[in-house]
A and B are shown apart, each in its own frame.
Chain A
């Protein structure tokens, strides 16, 4: 058991070191949602009084509505970033070192996932602290209730990144991930507009948004910020998280997975 924990500690430490070493990445991860909050949301100020849907009990301004979506954005980008660094590790050969460990591969992947999620969560809280400067604050209970929501949401999006990283063989392909995964996931979700707004455009669009796991992660975060539980969203996040993780474990299995196919 100690070996398992040692692996977790080592991988977490490595992620933390990488995180500290790449201060630019930390700043970038904060600048992105801050730009959305300050510039994009400001343009929508006139669209005041977004219609009331749970968990809101009254009207909200757009910049308050968008905050949970931007928290989700941090988790999503970090999950993808982590997948990018997996590809980098593979290219540089440090992954081979990791994979020679006698521990089961799924555990190594889970360690990796936990470490990157912890860093994402840290970034989300820093972002929320910055949002306070712009007058967007939630209750203390909301900030506390957010933590248990960020963990499954972060793990799920991280697992998606892992699953993708098992397919991506070159760093250059990351642009494809941006185009075909991050952007559709983010824009076809409830991060920017509530479902009823999507329904005004088309029912199909609304349905796509509703089944998008990223939407469910955002809704989980949104409800938590108002100290409410969204069981359906939680179940959906956990289910999709397990599916991504399963795919990642399969993908990294040298006997069956995509690594083998890639080697062929």
Chain B
């Protein structure tokens, strides 16, 4: 090969490789309930880098396994929207049942379990065929959704019935119902899947269940100094990598609680913006981003120091948050 041919080949190779390795920094995508938009925060600069239009009242948000697509519950448009994560363009809608609020993507990367708040059902949608696979009758006003890491169990919590409904994902049938405190809003399995946590907004507690027996094993209560107990309303929460710590959003108390998952004791309270809803970690989980509905911003928490670093203005009434690494 001549020298010229070699450099040509090198040029061609680099041209081929360049688009394959885009230098996209990790981002946090935040749905703004009132603005019908998604605010995208660059984790490196902690600034909003772009805003993407969505359907009406976007709330739940989650990415596909390969992060190429993003699913958004457009509650008032009665649909789940699928967006191209790279361009932010709406690709298509999925049938979701009425008023989808939260959902969870099954580990098979294909089935979305959607809570239909107004219909008292959980809808299972196949994201490939874009068809409803099953509709499962659950309690009144279903909201919180979770799926076990092995994909065998899906959970729906119903706000008015005050129950966690256990769904066998093989048969798409309920196999257990467990009572929790008033208005359960969020459910999450621990990373190993051995325990299920359910937060109760009005009850002001988190109930911990053993996944194998569905028996209650513990309850977490909160007490924020100087805040009336009625305003301490646990909603979204997330676990650190080692599962030793959970961060719990406490709604209108404007605080995030730091909970020791072994002792179920609250170790710290971190002041954030007004009415904190949900949260998402940075890729290394060193930063936590909380959505503060009323103050319209996202507070960035240093998870090691347990300190709020910065609050970033986003759209009106931010609600859901998801990481795009």
Contact = CB atoms under 8 A, between A and B. Distances in A.
Interface of A: 42, 45-46, 48-49, 52, 57-61
Contacts of B309: 57-58
Contact of A57 (B225, B226, B254, B311): B311
A210 to B, nearest CB: 24
Contact of B254 (A42, A48, A52): A48
B272 A59 contact: yes
A60 B255 CA distance: 11
Interface of B: 225-228, 254-255, 271-274, 295, 299-300, 308-311
B272 A57 contact: no
A59 B311 contact: yes
A45 B299 CA distance: 20
Given A48-B254, A49-B254, A52-B311, A59 B225 contact: no
Contact of B308 (A42, A45, A48, A58): A58
A46 B255 CA distance: 12
A46 to B, nearest CB: 6
* A interface majority secondary structure: loop
Contacts, number: 40
B310 A57 contact: yes
Given A58-B299, A59-B271, A59-B272, 16 more contacts: A45-B226, A46-B226, A46-B228, A48-B226, A48-B255, A48-B271, A49-B272, A49-B273, A49-B295, A57-B309, A58-B300, A58-B309, A58-B311, A59-B254, A59-B308, A60-B271
19 contacts: A46-B227, A48-B226, A48-B227, A48-B254, A48-B271, A49-B272, A52-B311, A58-B273, A58-B309, A58-B310, A58-B311, A59-B254, A59-B271, A59-B272, A59-B273, A59-B299, A59-B311, A60-B271, A61-B271
A209 to B, nearest CB: 24
Nearest to A48: B254
A49 B271 contact: yes
Contacts of B228: 46
B181 to A, nearest CB: 24
Contacts of B226: 42, 45-46, 48
Contacts of B274: 49
A57 B299 CA distance: 9
A57 to B, nearest CB: 4
A159 B299 CA distance: 42
A57 B309 CA distance: 7
Nearest to A63: B226
A-B complex: 4 closest residue pairs judged by Cβ atoms: A45-B226, A57-B310, A58-B311, A58-B308
A39 to B, nearest CB: 14
A52 B308 CA distance: 12
Nearest to A51: B295
A42 B310 CA distance: 24
Contacts of A59: 254, 271-273, 295, 299, 308, 311
B113 to A, nearest CB: 35
A52 B226 CA distance: 20
A250 B141 CA distance: 78
A49 B254 CA distance: 8
Contacts of A52: 311
A3 B310 CA distance: 53
Nearest to B311: A58
Contacts of A60: 271
A20 to B, nearest CB: 39
Contacts of A61: 271
Contacts of B273: 49, 58-59
A58 B254 CA distance: 12
